[in-house]
Amino acid sequence: MNSIKKESHIKIYIQTDIEGVAGYCFCEHKDPKMENVQHCHRMYRLLTDEVNAAVKACFDSGADEVLVNDSHGSGYNIIFENLDPRCRIIHGRNCSGPHWLPLLDASCDALVLVGMHAMGETPNAIVPHSKWKVNGGKIYLSEGSMAAAIAGDHGVPTVFVSGDDKIIAEIKGKIPGIETAEVKKALSVYQACSVIPARACEMIYSRVKNGIGRRSEIKPFHIPGPIKLNLLDAPGHIDLKELLPKDVEAPTVDQAFMEFERRMSWNCFGTSKLDGFVFP
C-alpha cells in the first residue's frame, strides 16, 4: 500500500486586519459620540468568520499548528471564543509585546494574510493608510507587504492574501503566484462593492488551501539589506512629523521596522509594568 509521508510538523501563521474584510467600508470613529458600537461588533463578526475560514483551510491542508494574530487596533477584534478550537490566538494590547508579529519565525511554514488594506495614498482604496518607503523609494510597502517582507527575512513564504482589489494588485505584483481572494472592489475611501460574506468565506477557504498546498512553489518575499526605512503616513499621529525626516537604517527589513516602531511614542513594545489600567 502506497502512502504519502507527512511533513514532521506544519505550522501556519495567520496575520489579520479588518479593513479588507468583505462588507467593511468603515468602522471606528475618533469621536466617541459618533461611535456605532453595534456596527463595530458586526464588523468583528465578519472578521471572525473570515479568519475561521482560513483556519479551517489550514487544518484541512494538513497543518498541525495554526497561530492567529489579532493585529488590528486594540488587538481585541476577533471573537475568539467562536474560533476553531484547534488554533491559538495572539491578542491583547497591540504593539505591547515583543514584536509586531509575535511568534513569527523560521519555524513557520507559511504566512496567510486575512483582511488586508491598501497602503496610504492609494487612490480609491478602502481607508488606505501606512505607506512604508524602503531605500529612498525604490519600493513601497503596505502593512500586508511589510508582514510578508518580515516573514521573508525568516525564509517564510506568504501564500495568501485577502482584501480589496487595490491591496490584491499591490501584493500580487510583489509575490508572483500568491493565492488571493478579492472580496470587494473599492470605489472610494469609504465605499466598496463587496461579495456577500458567505461567498467571501468560501473564497478564502479554497484559496488558502491552494496556497498552503503550493507553498514550496511560492518564494518568500525577501528584500535584501541593508535597509533604509521611513513611514510616509500614519493618520491621527501628530508626532509622526518628527520622525519623517529620519530614515532608520538596519541590515534587514525586520530590524529596521521594529527600530522605527519603537521610536513611535504611542507604541509600548516590551511592556513589563502595569500602567494605570484598572482591573476587576
**pLDDT single digits (tens) 78-94:** 999 999 999 999 999 88
- What is the number of residues in the chain? 280
**Residue 5's pLDDT band (cuts 50, 70, 90):** very low
Domains by residue range for the chain, with CATH? 11-129+142-222 (3.40.50.10780)
Model-wide pTM > 0.85: yes
The pLDDT, as a whole number, for residue 137 is 95
State the cell numbers at 4: 504519502
User: Does residue 266 surpass a pLDDT of 70?
Assistant: yes
Longest dimension (CA), the chain: 67
Q: Where are the beta strands (DSSP E) in the chain?
A: 11-16, 65-70, 88-90, 110-116, 132-134, 139-141, 158-164, 179-188, 191-194, 227-231, 248-250
Give residue-wise pLDDT tens across range 163-210.
999 999 999 999 999 999 999 999 999 999 999 999 999 999 999 999
The pLDDT, as a whole number, for residue 245 is 59
The pLDDT, as a whole number, for residue 28 is 58
The pLDDT, as a whole number, for residue 26 is 86
Question: What is the spatial distance between Cα 108 and Cα 67, in angstroms, rounded to a whole number?
Answer: 9
Question: What is the spatial distance between Cα 179 and Cα 206, in angstroms, rounded to a whole number?
Answer: 10
Give residue-wise pLDDT tens across range 105-149.
999 999 999 999 999 999 999 999 999 999 999 999 999 999 999
139 backbone dihedrals φ, ψ, rounded to 5°:
-150, 150
